[in-house]
Each structure stands twice: as C-alpha cells, then as structure tokens.
Chain A
C-alpha cells in the first residue's frame, strides 16, 4: 500500500538527492516512457521509500486511470509463493497485466529467491513491450546485489540508476525548516542553523536531534533556542561517536596491562585464585607476591599441588576413620600439612592401633645374666629416656637368646609411661612385609604408613626379615627416618650385627649403627635351669632366689638390676606350655620325663 503522506512536496531536494528526485518526477509524469526501469538506491533512512511513495502518488495524480502497485520485496515473494502453492500462478500473472506502475522496494531481499527473480525478470521484459513502468529501490547499487540472477541484474542496470546520499547542510536546513513549518514551532533560524551544522548519516538521525530540541524547548521555554540546540548537538555528537570508542579504550588498556604487569605475578596470582577458589589457604603462595624477585614458579606450584593432593588424601582417610573430621579447616591449609597428618594418625591409632607387645613379656620376667647385661642396661636407659639416649637401640643375638622377650619388655614398659597414654608398635620384620604387600594390594599404603607413624615408639623384631624386598626397605627407610627425626624411639632386633645384614640396604645398615648396637649372648645351661625356677611368692619371696644364688655364686662381682617384688604368683615356668601339663594321662600312660 502506498503511504499517502509521502509526496514530492515533502521531499526536500538537494545536491545529495537531486538526480533521484528529478528521475522520480519524470517517471511519475510519464511512466514507461523515460527510464525503464528506474533503480534508486540509498542507505537506510535517506528517503527511498518516501520517494517511491511520492512517485506513485504523483503518477496517480497525473493519470488517475493508471494502476499503481507498491510492494516490498517480502510481500512480492510471499504473494508469489502463495499463488504457486495454490497452483494459481497464471491468475497471479494476469493480475500484473493490468498494472501500469510497479514500485518494488528493498529488492536486495530477493537474494536467493529464484522463482521471484524469474517472475520479476519476465515482468520487466514484458513491460518494455507494453509501456509498463517498473521502479526498483535497494540499499545498494545493482552491482553490489549478491544472489541475484545476472540477467535480472543486467535489466536493472539497463534504465537509470540514481542514488540518494546523506543530506548535506543545505538539504538538512531545508528539511529542518520544513519540519518547523509543519509543526508550527517557535524555533529561530539560529537554532536550525545550529542543528543543520550537525552532520548526520541519515534523515532519521536529524529528526532525532530535532525532536530532542523540541522536547528540550518544551521543558525550558524561556531559554535561547540556539543555546539549547548547541547542547543537543553536542550530546548527539557524543552519542554518535564511534560506537566502539569504549571498546577501543578497553583494548588499548588490556595491551598496557599485559605489558606492564609482571607475568610471574600474573601466573602466581592465577594459581592463588584457582586454589583459593577451591577453598585452600593460599598464604604460603601469596607471600611470594610480596617479594620483589620471582620464585621458581614451577617448583612453588608443584610443591603446593603436591601438598594439596596429600591433604585431600588425608582428609579422605580422616573422614573414613571419623566422619566428624571431614571438612576440618586444617585439611584446607597446605601450610599445616604436618598438623593434618598428625590428626589422621591419631584417628588411625584410635581406630586401628598398630600391633602391641605381648603383655606377658615384661622386664620383670626377663632372665638377666652376664650375656645380656649390656642389653638390659641399654633397655633401662631407653625406657627411662625414650628417643633421646640410644636411638635406635639395636639388639642382636642368636635365636632363643631372649631378643624378642627384651624388645617386648621394653615396649610394655614404654606403654606404661604417662599413665598408659603411649602407643608402641611392635612388629616382626616378616609381618611388616606381609602387611605392606596387603596394603599394596588394597591400595591402602598411606594408611599402613600412618598406622605406624602414629606410634610413639616402634620396635621391629627380626629386622633382618625386611631384606629381600626393595619396596619394603624403602618404606621402612622413610618410617625409620620419621621416627628418628621426630625423636621417637626405635628398637630393632636381629640375629646379626648391622654390617652382616647382607640382604638389607647399606643406607639402613649405617643408620642402624648410628644408635647403640648391643649383643645378647646365647642362653647358657645354667641360665636355662634358672629360667625354669619358679619365682617365690609371699613370704618365700623375701628369701634369696635361685637366680640370685646362682649369680652370686658364679659371678659375684657382676652388678645386676634390683629384683622387683613380684605381683604375679607364677614364674615364666608356669607360662610355658611345654613345661605345664594340665590334663594328666591315666596311670598306664604316664611316663617319667627326663627333667633336662
């Protein structure tokens, strides 16, 4: 539909559009006789549609019998498509036979519409034969129209091509005066001159500035119009400044920041942000940011990551042992790794304590003699000052010499310290290896480590049995060092002195020797008899024991630890299953054993 408001009288001609206006007038007054087709192109907002409508209106005024059709390209394509789907294409074509003037707007939208292009080509060709006028409008010249058939482009270029440029100052002033008179506004020429001086890309922009001035004047009717116009123009200039002015500013700043900040700080800050985002205390990283020299970033970040991973494992283990420990802040602070480890070890000790000594193997029932005096004295020192005097205490001797008994006895004495608060791990070297294999199989090596590391002292019986497994020796090496470095007591027993532990790594041998190495000699026949002697009870205990008697007779000058008052009624003799028969056989089955 033609918009009747748009007429030539309302279209201000100027240098920027004079050719288009003249051509439009000529076509309106003699359709199909001067320019066929007429092709008008212009940027949006410069009056294409206005000019088409004015042309159509004027043509219908000149020749009222003329049938004028105005179509946007979208409408044209849509109607054609509808007719085609309806199977009524011929009827649709017949409608155009009565049309004298076709005004087709925005032909750039015919891009890709092959059927519509073909129909338009047919119309233009027919029109040339019967005085039918086609006027086309687009936002670009034919040469720039993509997706249009070459034959159609050729036809479009075959008439007159006229463009409309952005209005220059004279045209802008003419437009402004036209608007002023149309709206009977109290705007002096100076104000219009001020507005006209504002370069615009299209007429709509000029209308926006004009409307803003009108609105401004309605708010402050007493102020000079020219001054208000100047402000309005200034604002419009500011708003019309390059739309990417701010983005451009940002881009340049980004380049400056990138080149100015020290990249190692950027990287470290990024690492800090990442870990802080995961809830970890990053103070240990942040302190590097306060420095002036870059640290070894790879090492710093790797160290932190390792600590975090360790904390995660610890927290997981802690939560398994005691759900209340999940989320404890210490597990988010790599600077408190030792503390976190200690918490888990305590939880583990409470949940799954390390193997304890046999309770009956005490110092009290340990048979002393010349062969074990040094070991016994060393044991006394260790019990009195664990971790500080002889660490490690290495006891070696042949089988059945009492090493196991003495090591368990030390453990039992340590257990009694501080009101029974101590945890002492006592384990055989072979059992230690078995446990590690099981831990490896079940993926619980860390737990296995912590179980032992939680102890206040560790005693490994038959330490020679850790030989043969490199992994076990590695683990024991770290375990051993942990105890020694933290001042906790280590007691080891073996069948040979350290240098003869051929299956044990040299680094361990040397560490075993760094403490005190004592030997326990083979059990003599005399001692064996003494071991079988019951400890007297009650009043009988006051009398000299057979042990003491033997010692005094045979080695009167050797000092011995004082014999404690026994609290148990039985000697080790009665604890030895080989020596005690509880179910006596019948008379016929009795034999008289050799009393040895």
Chain B
C-alpha cells in the first residue's frame, strides 16, 4: 500500500493497534471515533463477541481532509488480542504502515503483554519485516486504575520497551493519552514519506 501518492496527492496510512486481549485497543478507536467530527470519519466497523472482546477486527477510516495539499486518509485497525486468533492478526497486520502496541498496565497482565509483543515480532517477521523498521509506539493503558494494581509507565518501559520506542501512559476509556499515541504513531509514519516504502507486506 503506497503511503503517499504524489500524482493523486493522496496520503493513506494504515495503523494497526496490536496488543493482548482486553488491553483497550478497541477503546482507543472508540474514543478517536467519538472525537472526530462526523463528516471526517467513516463508520466504525467492529465485530465483537459477547463480552466485547474483538472477534475479528475493528476498522475506523478517518478522512483527515487536505493536509498540505494532500488528501489524507488514515485507516485504523485493531487485531483480536486473544491468542487463538493468530491468523487473523497476521492478516490485519498486512500492509500496516505503523503499529501501536496497546499494553495492559495491570501487573497481573504483564505475561500477556510480553507474549503479545513477542507475537507481534513474529508476525512482522512472517511478513518479512523487521520490527525495528516499522514505526512502533507503545501505549500503557489503564493507568487510571488504582496505583496498587498497575505498573507506572516507567516500570512498563523497563518491562516492555527494550527498543526504546515512544511510549505513552493512557486511559483509553477516558481518552487520556489516546490522541498522544496516535499523533506520535502518525508522525513516525509520515516522517517516512520521502523514504522508501516500508509497509508490512
């Protein structure tokens, strides 16, 4: 998927929200969906199982209008976090220009975070892409929970962010950190406009 088409003056970015089940990926998209003016957002498509776990994936198309003369569209996807939807995650990840890894800040969920992050690296490798070549941002969600239950961002960084990529504490339900995360991920993707295409193939 071309990130930028100079001839038609279009920029299209696909950003995938990755992470373990119930970490808050869909909440991120739902918050963005609420904040974006109606005329700029497409219908958010989400297939959910009973209990609101993402079964297949969420898709939120955003028409950001004309930015610097380019018609700019973002496509935000989430993957199903549950372990058994491995092949679906691979499919959704295909063609991603950037990845937001949404980690659950709860201490008891740390193993799931690590497992999901490892799964992300494997999925990227299967697409023939090195994790260090894809714009990646970490989001430590659920920071609004009582302090005794969650790891603070610094601790999350020590546990997960061994590549020292940008990271943000967040409360996706309340919106804190949601746009900061998307903004940074978008920036990393857009900064590569003049570089050779590196989307996940």
Q: Which A residues are closer than 8 A to B by beta carbons? A: 231, 234-235, 237-239, 241, 245-246, 248-250, 252-254, 256-258, 260-262, 265-266, 268-270, 272-273, 282, 286, 289
User: Can you list 14 pairs linking A and B with CB atoms under 8 Å apart?
Assistant: A237-B175, A241-B35, A246-B35, A252-B183, A252-B187, A253-B64, A257-B68, A257-B70, A265-B6, A266-B6, A269-B6, A269-B7, A270-B9, A272-B7
CB under 8 Å from chain A, chain B span 14-54: 31, 34-37, 40
Q: A238-B31, A273-B9 are in contact. Are A261 and B4 (CB under 8 A)?
A: yes
CB of B7 within 8 A of CB of A256, answer no
Note all chain A residues with C-beta closer than 8 A to B37: 246
Give bound CA distance, A110 to B174, whole Å.
Answer: 41
Return B197 CB to nearest CB of chain A, in Å. Answer: 13
CB of A246 within 8 A of CB of B190, answer no
Return B182 CB to nearest CB of chain A, in Å. Answer: 7
CB of A253 within 8 A of CB of B186, answer yes
Give bound CA distance, A282 to B9, whole Å.
Answer: 14
Return A570 CB to nearest CB of chain B, in Å. Answer: 70
Return B51 CB to nearest CB of chain A, in Å. Answer: 14
Q: A238-B35, A245-B179, A250-B65 are in contact. Are A257 and B6 (CB under 8 A)?
A: no
CB-based nearest B residue for A261: B193
Q: A252-B187, A268-B6 are in contact. Are A261 and B179 (CB under 8 A)?
A: no
Return A222 CB to nearest CB of chain B, in Å. Answer: 16
Note all chain A residues with C-beta closer than 8 A to B187: 252-253, 256
Note all chain B residues with C-beta closer than 8 A to A286: 7
Give bound CA distance, A33 to B173, whole Å.
Answer: 53
CB of B175 within 8 A of CB of A249, answer no
CB of A257 within 8 A of CB of B67, answer yes
Give bound CA distance, A527 to B34, whole Å.
Answer: 105
CB under 8 Å from chain A, chain B span 162-196: 173-175, 179, 182-183, 186-187, 190-194
CB of A256 within 8 A of CB of B194, answer no
Residue B94 lies at the interface, judged by CB distance under 8 Å to chain A: no
Give bound CA distance, A238 to B31, whole Å.
Answer: 7
Return B42 CB to nearest CB of chain A, in Å. Answer: 15
Give bound CA distance, A258 to B194, whole Å.
Answer: 11
Q: Which B residues are closer than 8 A to A by beta carbons? A: 4, 6-9, 11, 31, 34-37, 40, 64-65, 67-70, 72, 173-175, 179, 182-183, 186-187, 190-194
Give bound CA distance, A269 to B69, whole Å.
Answer: 9
Q: A238-B175, A270-B69 are in contact. Are A289 and B31 (CB under 8 A)?
A: no
Q: For the complex, would chain A's binding face be called helix, strand, loop or mixed by DSSP majority?
A: helix
CB of B72 within 8 A of CB of A260, answer no
Note all chain B residues with C-beta closer than 8 A to A253: 64, 67, 72, 183, 186-187, 190
Query: Which among A248, A257, A272 is the interface contact of B193 at CB below 8 angstroms?
Result: A257
Note all chain A residues with C-beta closer than 8 A to B40: 246
Give bound CA distance, A380 to B83, whole Å.
Answer: 91
Q: A253-B67, A257-B11, A261-B193 are in contact. List 8 more A-B contacts (CB 8 A).
A: A248-B179, A249-B182, A250-B65, A261-B70, A270-B9, A270-B69, A273-B9, A289-B6
Note all chain B residues with C-beta closer than 8 A to A270: 9, 69
Note all chain B residues with C-beta closer than 8 A to A249: 179, 182-183, 186
Give bound CA distance, A146 to B107, whole Å.
Answer: 56
CB-based nearest B residue for A259: B191
Note all chain A residues with C-beta closer than 8 A to B186: 249, 253, 256
Query: Which among A246, A257, A272, A273 is the interface contact of B72 at CB below 8 angstroms?
Result: A257
CB of A256 within 8 A of CB of B35, answer no
Give bound CA distance, A53 to B40, whole Å.
Answer: 44
Give bound CA distance, A574 to B40, whole Å.
Answer: 91
Q: A256-B187, A261-B194 are in contact. Are A245 and B67 (CB under 8 A)?
A: no
CB of B35 within 8 A of CB of A245, answer yes
Give bound CA distance, A506 to B101, whole Å.
Answer: 77
CB-based nearest B residue for A276: B7
